[in-house]
């Protein structure tokens, strides 16, 4: 291979970046709307040319996948590709397996029925401390649920748990497709590889 071929191949390498988004951070690099600055991805990620594939709400935490390839970005974000996303969800109250069956069957939200989800009760995960901490009510217990969906509507998981009577207190996206947060501390990012 000559130098031009090598450079051409380097130019077309696709980067995938995994970021563990803290609570309160916007899933974008700039914040033009707010008169007082809010933390954005630029506070944490100094790699030029990558953009988020999908969103994670400001009050949600966890895995955000970024890439410099528009086609891959669309494939990750577009619900028609049915890429699964797994969340660790702390809910108010104590849902039973029967309660979670409604999520497995699919619930009907204001914007229509959801696809069937995977949902199971899990032990409290060993996560980082959230800043600010979740507000608890001493009289109401809380429970952790692992929920996997294959679509990504606005605030969907929160709306699903509220629909079955268990409001979400804390939401952490743990996995997107084959990518996960394993070993990635909050506020940190890493290159997952090149394609």
Calculate mean pLDDT across residues 102-128: 95
Give pLDDT tens digits for 134-193: 887 778 899 999 999 998 788 999 999 999 999 999 999 999 999 999 999 999 999 986
Q: Is the pLDDT of residue 3 over 50?
A: no
The pair of three-digit structure tokens given for residue 2, joined into one six-digit string: 């000559």
Q: What are the residue ranges spanned by the domains of the chain? A: 8-80+182-195, 84-176
Q: How far is residue 130's CA from residue 117's CA, in Å, rounded to a whole number?
A: 26
Interior CA angle at 163 toward 90 and 140, to 5°?
A: 45
Q: In the CATH scheme, what is the code of domain 84-176?
A: 3.30.70.1560
Q: Of 57, 68, 78, 142, which residue is the catalytic one?
A: 57
Give pLDDT tens digits for 30-69: 887 767 778 999 999 998 889 998 889 999 999 999 999 8
CB atoms within 10 A of CB 13: 11
- pLDDT bucket at 76, cuts 50 / 70 / 90: confident
Question: Domain 8-80+182-195, what architecture?
Answer: 2-Layer Sandwich (3.30)
Catalytic residue flag (residue 6): no
Question: What pLDDT score was predicted for residue 19?
Answer: 97
């Amino acid at each position: 291979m000559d130098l031009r071929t090598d450079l051409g191949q380097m130019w077309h390498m696709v980067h995938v970046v995994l970021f563990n988004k803290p609570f309160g951070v916007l899933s974008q690099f700039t914040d033009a709307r707010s008169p007082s600055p809010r933390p954005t991805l630029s506070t944490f990620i100094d790699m030029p040319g990558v953009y988020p594939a999908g969103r994670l709400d400001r009050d949600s935490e966890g895995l955000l996948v970024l890439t410099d390839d528009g086609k891959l970005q669309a494939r990750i974000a577009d619900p028609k590709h049915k890429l699964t996303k797994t969340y660790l969800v702390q809910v108010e109250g104590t849902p039973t397996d029967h309660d979670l069956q409604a999520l497995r069957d699919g619930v009907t939200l204001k914007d229509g029925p959801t696809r069937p989800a995977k949902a199971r009760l899990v032990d409290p995960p060993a996560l980082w401390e959230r800043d600010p901490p979740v507000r608890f009510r001493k009289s109401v217990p809380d429970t952790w649920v692992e929920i996997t969906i294959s679509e990504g509507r606005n605030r969907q998981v929160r709306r699903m748990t509220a629909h079955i009577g268990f409001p979400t207190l804390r939401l952490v996206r743990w996995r997107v497709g084959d990518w996960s947060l394993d070993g990635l501390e909050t506020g940190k990012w890493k290159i997952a590889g090149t394609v």
